[in-house]
Structures are given as C-alpha cells and as structure tokens.
Amino acid sequence: MPEGLDLQEPKSSRTAKSAISPPINYIIGSDATDSDQTTLGVSKSVLKKFRESTAEKTINSS
C-alpha cells in the first residue's frame, strides 16, 4: 500500500474535529481585523464563500 493512503484517516479526523471546534463567529461573523487570515489560518475569502454557499442552502431548503 502506498504511504500516502495512511494519511487519509488522520486528515479526515482532523477535518471533522476542526469543523466542530471553531467558535461559530468564525463561520458566520464579519471580518474583525485587517488581516486576510483568521486565527485559524483560514483565508477570509474562503470563509466568505462558505457563508454565501451556506446561506443559499438555507434559503433553498426553507
């Protein structure tokens, strides 16, 4: 088995954990600093896209 496959499980565990761990304001809050990065190291443009896609899903499902 290639070594790369060994990384998949820890990576998915880490992703699941980080989806639960950050405070909700990192996901839905407005940008509070001039930096392009949050303290989680996620670029704000990524968070903005996430917020927009989440809002669309919420509107479409109601």
**In the chain, domain spans:** 25-62
- Is the pLDDT score of 15 beyond 60? no
pTM of the model: 0.27
Exposure class string for 18-57: b at 16+ Cβ within 10 A, else e: eeeeeeeeeeeeeeeeeeeebeeeeebeebeeeeeeeeee
In 3D space, the residue among 40, 48, 43, 45 whose CA is nearest the CA of residue 23 turns out to be 40
- Is the pLDDT score of 3 beyond 80? no
